[in-house]
Structure 1
Amino acid sequence: MTPATAPRRVLYVVSLFPCWSETFIVREIEVLLARGVDVRILSLKPPMEALVHERAARLLDRTLHPRPPLATALACLRLAIRRPVAVSAFGARLLAGLWRQPTKLLKSIGALARAAGHYEWIRRFDPELVHAPWATYPATVAWFLSRLLQRPFTFTSRAHDIFTEDQMMAGKLRHAALRVTITRHNVAYLSRWMRKPGELPVHVVHSSLDLADIAYVEDGRLPQRLLSVGRLDPIKGFDVLLHALALLRDRGVAFDSVIIGEGAERARLLALRDRLGLGDRVSFAGAKPQAEVHKAMAEATLMVMPCVVTEDGNADGIPNVLTEAMASGLAVVSTRVSGIPELVDDGVNGLLVPPRDAQALAAAVEQLLADPARRAAFARAGRRKVEQDFNVHVEAGRLLRHFAEVVHG
């Protein structure tokens, strides 16, 4: 791709920026910037997280946050007066699509209003396309702005935004100039909103890593350290992990386990840990900066991520921490959920077990704790897998080629 064919200006619409759990979006934007694209970020919420990645902080001068309520209201009024047909037409589309989901309808209207608060700046910036890295409110706003600007909109779908949400997905798929998702599993899943499977092309671009950020470590690992990383949410399956660890303890297997992350499940998981008598074996370390997470990966023996599908259908796509662990030389055990088998080739670069099966999880962990040669083989194969399929310079380059096709095709 030549500089002349790449889009010159792209607007990213996100729910929250900076967002601690979305460093993959930061990496993607950094690659686009390095390749000459002027990327600006529209955040639909004000900054609210205590921990901010240094790399995300460097993008704050490119970010638009919501204006004060009065300024937003006046901007919305001006836009409605100047563009009554476009505003009312999209409002009618929104009402028709979400009237059965009144809470989401009201939140969508609020998101559109916050975008409208910056409309004059966005119009002057004149993006050649508007991209949403999530298929929910960001994609709704991107669609709205594309109608106002007469520019194409594109979106990426990932996990909860399609597994538990349907915010006008059929319309978004039909009207988007480009549909992207992060796994082949999701490509098949999105067919449920098409008149026939495969009717609309959906391209796979993985959430990926800058491998220069993660050192591959072979030596000096703590011999019995198990590591798990992720928000304390039901989709992570940490309750299954605790039951599996209790089985290992009862079998006399030596281990200690560290769980890094914070979330609504903390109190329940702590109570379960104590009820199972694992207080001296399992520590909940809370949220940690990325550098400390990578240090923990370099020290551990095994990454254990027992992801599940919840009763409402929610699940991970491919947990980014699994990709990071494999890049760091840490052998992994996970489950056959969603897109995880597209990263972890069972028996080649890690082990996969059925979700919610504590017995199988305990057996896989015990097997690898006892077999350092196999762990080392998995670690080498895991790094190769990430280098081949989850390199941000390759994946963001693929996304940029798709953007160029949209703009110039």
Structure 2
Amino acid sequence: MGGNIVVVLKGYPRLSETFIAQELLELERAGYNLHLFSLRRPTDKACHPIHDEIKAKITYLPEYLHEEPMRVLRGWMSSRRLKGYRLAVRTFLKDLLRDRTRNRIRRFGQALVLARELPGDTDWLYAHFIHTPGSVTYYGHLMTGVGWSCSAHAKDIWTSPDWELSEKLDNASWTATCTRSGFEHLRNLATDKGSVHLVHHGLDLSRFPPPEASSSKRDGSQADDPVRIVTVGRAVAKKGLDTLLDALALLPPDIHWKWTHIGGGVLYKELAEQITRLGLSDRAEMIGAKPQEFVLQTYRDSDLFVLPCRIAADGDRDGLPNVLVEAQSQGLACISSPISGIVELIEDGRNGLLTPPDDAQQLSRAIEELVRDPVRRGQMGAAGARRVTTEFDHLVEIKRLLALFAEVGVEAGYQEAAQ
């Protein structure tokens, strides 16, 4: 078998998913020929430099079936002649009885187009996220007979019903996931426990080299040089940003600080209104999504990283936010919550602090503690940087992924990343 892989993604490119772009680039460097099929067109106005380095061709499937009816019709007319079409239809109808949504129908329509437009030399299908992209890839696999595997992350694991996860796990050749908690959950749902693998994302340390300057000595006592607190992440419920704003409002008046949030998200307007309501407009700013080089410089200019994650009402939660790994690589002390894979990175009291989710008072006390003690902040930041360097190097993790492709016979040519 060759090394031509079709990668199915929910959206591409996305500023918030640098971990996917990093993986795609390393697969190309390893000698794989990639063709990306995205279920959605990009919504971000900018992209990271790494996206320009990825050479894979991109095909955008119909985001809504009614927008490209002839393309969907051609997909159906072509796919119905495939040997696995009837099995795919039976599987889809069984799923539809348990999930009677337009989204389910859209997934099957996108799979029809995927099956028709697959390059003729495709050796493997690989889905990023086990929910929507996983469904499109699963149906496409049934129609075409091309083998498939999946990478599961966070929301897709925790908001998908167990029946759906179990059936995909049992059908895919292998599934990788990026946190211990996600790994254990999926493994419990899989008939073949050995088909589920833990593969951390890791960080490309060449893009996040250690800063030249030492950690700052700001302690919040100077009005003209406030402590700089930064948060990077989408404005969505699971990030706990409303709790963070409440915590900032509780800080003693003698502490001078400035908070910067980088990222878009559906709660952006709501959080901006909360800032105004709490009287924080002169010290808190939300500046939207930014390219990676801007984020890197912001890490280096800041004193403390805070991301108080929670489990959202619908069960959604983070795995291990890559931004925590990025911030620690720059020697930033981090405050977060003991949710999912965060505990695999942050050891409370050693390389950061962990506070209970939704507890603004404890979070405020933790922020105050590290704001007033720059020496301890620096020690935690240094410990975090060492941990990232020794345990979260992406070149170590990509070897595990390359081995999974090799085990199913998908062989690359030039194995640069594995050396």
Shared fold by TM > 0.5?
yes
Contact 1:86 1:147 in 2 (8 A): yes
Alignment match, 1:209: 203
Provide the identity percentage: 33
Alignment match, 1:185: 181
Say whether 1:107 aligns with 2:92. no
Alignment match, 1:77: 77
Say whether 1:316 aligns with 2:315. no
Structure 1 portions without partners, runs of 5+: 1-5
Equivalent of 1:93 in 91, 95, 103? 91
TM-score (norm 2): 0.88
Structure 2 portions without partners, runs of 5+: 63-67, 219-226, 412-419
Alignment match, 2:332: 330
Cα separation, 2, equivalents of 1:56 and 1:395: 20
Contact 2:180 2:340 in 1 (8 A): no
Alignment match, 1:397: 399
3-state secondary structure, aligned to 2:105: helix
Cα separation, 1, equivalents of 2:410 and 2:202: 26
Equivalent of 1:130 in 112, 125, 128? 125
Aligned letter for 1:360? Q
Alignment match, 1:3: none
3-state secondary structure, aligned to 1:314: coil
Say whether 1:359 aligns with 2:353. no
Say whether 1:176 aligns with 2:172. yes
Alignment match, 1:257: 259
Contact 1:222 1:299 in 2 (8 A): no
Residues 150-161 of structure 1 aligned to structure 2 (within 5 Å): 150-161=145-156
Shift of 1:305: 0.5
Alignment match, 1:286: 288
3-state secondary structure, aligned to 1:393: helix
Alignment match, 1:25: 20
Aligned letter for 1:27? Q
Contact 1:95 1:105 in 2 (8 A): no
3-state secondary structure, aligned to 1:207: coil
Cα separation, 2, equivalents of 1:291 and 1:200: 39
3-state secondary structure, aligned to 1:212: coil
1:14-52 per-residue CA deviation (whole Å, 9 max, x = no partner) reads 111212211111111111111112222111223443222
Shift of 1:392: 1.7
Contact 2:235 2:264 in 1 (8 A): yes
Aligned letter for 2:287? A
Distance 1:112 1:259, change over 3 A: same
Contact 1:73 1:117 in 2 (8 A): no
Distance 1:203 1:194, change over 3 A: closer
Equivalent of 2:342 in 331, 335, 340? 340
Q: Where in structure 1 do 4 or more consecutive aligned residues deviate above 6 Å?
A: none
Count of residues paired in the alignment: 395
Aligned letter for 2:173? A
State the superposition RMSD in angstroms: 2.2
Aligned letter for 2:207? D
Residues 370-381 of structure 1 aligned to structure 2 (within 5 Å): 370-381=372-383
Aligned letter for 1:362? S
Distance 1:192 1:40, change over 3 A: same
Contact 1:71 1:117 in 2 (8 A): no
Aligned letter for 1:110? G
Cα separation, 2, equivalents of 1:65 and 1:267: 29
Alignment match, 1:232: 235
Aligned letter for 2:367? V
Distance 1:325 1:304, change over 3 A: same
3-state secondary structure, aligned to 1:263: coil
Shift of 1:349: 1.1
Shift of 1:169: 1.1
Cα separation, 2, equivalents of 1:66 and 1:194: 29
Contact 1:179 1:201 in 2 (8 A): yes
Contact 1:221 1:298 in 2 (8 A): no
Shift of 1:249: 3.8
1:247-293 per-residue CA deviation (whole Å, 9 max, x = no partner) reads 1144x222111111222212221222222221112111122121111
Shift of 1:326: 0.5
Alignment match, 2:222: none
Cα separation, 1, equivalents of 2:137 and 2:166: 15
Equivalent of 1:245 in 244, 248, 253? 248
